[in-house]
Structure 1
Amino acid sequence: MADKIQKAYQDSKNIYDDVLTQGNIFSKLYINFFWSGTDDNEIARKVLSYIPDDFHGKLLDVPVGTAVFTYKKWGMLQNADITCLDYSEDMIEQARDRMKDYSHVSCVQGDVGNLPLKDESCDIVISMNGFHAFPDKKKAFKETWRVLKPGGRFIACFYIKGEKKITDWLVKNVLSKKGWFTPPFPTQEHLMNILNKLYKNIDFHVEGAMVYFSAVK
């Protein structure tokens, strides 16, 4: 499974940004048809708005991907200590190149199921478009919770099943088979049950087949 995921993101490294940001007509058609027009750019803006522009604590970004949505925000947070982690070497290489001039940002290859961070060491953990790709979601929830300080904030967005039939079909028959997504996937109800056991003050939103939220440990 790990090799399949690594290969999937290696094969897509040249189109990844265009698809997420709707950088060409084909990606726009794909998003409009299969994702009900859900705008990842707008969801990214809302997710990042949870982080104050004067944030100065310890932040973990997992998975960072190519940092296409985050590099400008991370560049603004000059007084923060930011670790960007991704399992894909190809993704982390692109993220590292985008943020090569940011001395306060470290880009490392690693596994969300075994984070190289101490218990309760982070003020914020952010996970954009990651949980639908993680092969062991229980470990991912456990690890992201483990490294958060009490009172720390978990911020995320990802696909959930049961909201849009055409998206569920795409995920099951194409994206999962190619290795970009990894089942099982939570429904909105299942995800809320998980979050309610781990977090409080949950600000939860669904747009199309995507969820985004902020929650406090």
Structure 2
Amino acid sequence: MKRKKRGEHLNPLEKSNKAYKASKNIYDDTLTQSKWWSRLYIRFFWSGVNDVEIARQVLNMLPDNFEGSLLDVPVGTAVFTTEKYGRMQNAKITCLDYSQDMLQQAQERFLRMGIDNVTCLQGNVECLPFENASFDAVLSMNGFHAFPNKDKAFKETSRVLKNGGMFCGCFYIKGENRRTDLIVKQVLARKGWFAPPFYTLEELRSELSRYYSSINVCNDAAMVYFKCLK
């Protein structure tokens, strides 16, 4: 009988949670490319994609004077969003993440910055604990490539968004860079940081068109960023 490898008995969400818990001390360094090894990793496997610039592009879709309700899922460690939320004083912001470790780091960041208009919750994007049309905007940065059931995630993020509301974010797409696809398939997905299936650029456009009346999708190599109106 073939022996199961360590972690094979875990469901996708548990596997992802375990992976992000193990990487919590290097997660920010990888995204922000603040270390020499993270810059080398991004340059070789991700064609030098600048996550900081993509994050800036996405966050600029939300004005600093935004006065509505915003859902951030997954919030991660809030490495890109803390300063932005500090400027969005009139917004009511809800941050949700499945990983308690990531959520704790985000909460600590908000506390250090004195940001008091943010509520942090542990939860699952596949079954959001909110009523229909609860939010004026939904933000999802670097999340959908880690969600095991992307169909449910798209349905839920659309369900809780008001008509006329904005959905924006960024994540990995396949078919744009062979080396990126290889590292995702052979390492990131096996370890639990990413979860298949993954979309191509055209598949993503088609999926977003099911839920939104207006979509604007751009990509930088294997990273896509988008703004949609419901």
Q: TM-score, length-normalised on structure 2?
A: 0.93
d(CA) in 2 for partners of 1:60, 1:197: 20
Structure 2 match to 1:215: 228
> Does residue 34 of the first structure (1) align with residue 49 of the second (2)?
no
Cα RMSD of the aligned pairs, angstroms, is: 0.6
Task: Tell me, in whole angstroms, the C-alpha distance in 2 between the residues paired with 1:202 and 1:184.
Answer: 22
CA drift of 1:29 comes to: 0.2
SS of aligned partner of 1:37: coil
Q: Post-superposition shift, 1:58?
A: 0.2
Structure 2 stretches of 5 or more lacking a match? Answer: 1-11
Separation of aligned partners in 2, 1:109 and 1:102 = 19
Structure 1 unaligned segments of length 5 or more: list them.
Answer: none
Question: Which residue is 1:77 aligned to?
Answer: 88
The answer to whether residue 67 in structure 2 is matched with residue 61 in structure 1 is no
Q: Which runs of 4+ in 1 moved over 6 A?
A: none
Aligned residue identity for 2:229: V
For structure 1, which segment, 133-142 or 199-208, has the greater mean C-alpha deviation from structure 2 after superposition? 199-208
Corresponding position: 1:187 with 2:190: no
The alpha-carbon deviation at position 210 of structure 1 amounts to 0.4
Paired with 2:32 and 2:124, the residues of 1 have a C-alpha distance of 25
Residue 214 (structure 2) aligns with: 201
CA distance in 1 between partners of 2:209 and 2:79 (Å): 30
Q: Distance in 1 between matches of 2:105 and 2:197?
A: 28
Structure 1 Cα separation of the partners of residues 190 and 38 of structure 2: 20
Helix, strand or coil for the counterpart of 1:177? helix
Partner residue in 2 for 1:132: 145
The alpha carbon displacement at 1:200 in A equals 2.2
Counterpart amino acid of residue 99 in structure 1: F
CA distance in 1, matches of 2:195, 2:95: 21
CA distance in structure 1 between the aligned counterparts of 2:148 and 2:215, rounded to whole angstroms: 24
Partner residue in 2 for 1:16: 27
Residue 59 (structure 2) pairs with residue 48 (structure 1):
yes
**Aligned pairs, number:** 217
Aligned residue number for residue 164 of structure 2:
151
2:125 to 112, 130, 148: 112
Letter in 2 for 1:202: I
Cα separation, 2, equivalents of 1:192 and 1:203: 9
Give the aligned residue type for 2:227.
S
Q: Match for 2:218: what amino acid?
A: H
CA drift at 1:199:
0.8
TM score, norm. by length of structure 1: 0.99
